[in-house]
Amino acid sequence: MSTVGAGARPEFRGGSSAESESSESGSGIKERGGEAAHGALRGVIAAMAMTGMRSFTVSTGLVDEPPPRAILRQKSKGLFRVMPKRFRRAGQELCHWGYGAAGGAAFAMLPERVRMQAWSGPVFGLGIWVGFELGIAPVLGLSQAKKPRPVDRLSLAVDHLLYGLVLSETRSRPRE
């Protein structure tokens, strides 16, 4: 490992043969767990960035109802209804950030050769959006799955690109 000055980030050296060999042992499991936890943190931060983007798209009328709110309002009526109104938005965001954390942990488990590609995060983010549009929304029977909504869908695709960009850009990269 190279020497770094105060405040500098240490050089990232992922995927070495020693690391590959240790992945067979318990320390490899710990490393993957640490990667998953770090990915989850990145996922929460990326979901928080999406929250800012969604505040803009909802307030400008580009998005009628963000998916986390639609899911909670339409499918978890009991939980959402018993929650005091002043806490509903916070509950919605916590659910979204939890989903973002799960996505970040999943991204961290992708092979390093994939994660290190510049396109990997944005493609991952778009994959999550496509999975929601083609899988989750129709299976849950969300009302938004039954409408064309081209501007709404494009806006949601862009905020998932942002999620993936933040997810991939905040990871350590090798220094050349």
Does position 12 have pLDDT exceeding 50, yes or no?
no
What is the Cα–Cα distance from 163 to 49, expressed in whole angstroms? 7
Tokens 């905040």 belong to residue: 170
Q: How confident is the model at residue 103 (pLDDT cuts 50, 70, 90)?
A: very high
Does position 78 have pLDDT exceeding 90, yes or no?
no
Does position 1 have pLDDT exceeding 60, yes or no?
no
Q: Mean pLDDT, to the nearest integer, of 153-162?
A: 96
The number of residues making up the chain comes to: 176
Contact 143, 70 (CB under 8 A): yes
pLDDT digits (tens, 9 = 90+) for 107-125: 999 998 999 898 999 999 9
> Which uninterrupted H or E stretch holds 22?
helix 17-22
Q: Is the dihedral of CA 31, 36, 38, 39 positive or negative?
A: positive
Q: Mean pLDDT, to the nearest integer, of 44-70?
A: 94
Structure tokens at 155: 């806006």
The pLDDT value recorded for residue 26 is 58
Percent with pLDDT over 70 in the chain: 78
pTM as predicted: 0.77
Does position 175 have pLDDT exceeding 70, yes or no?
no
pLDDT digits (tens, 9 = 90+) for 26-47: 566 667 788 899 999 999 999 9
The pLDDT value recorded for residue 75 is 86
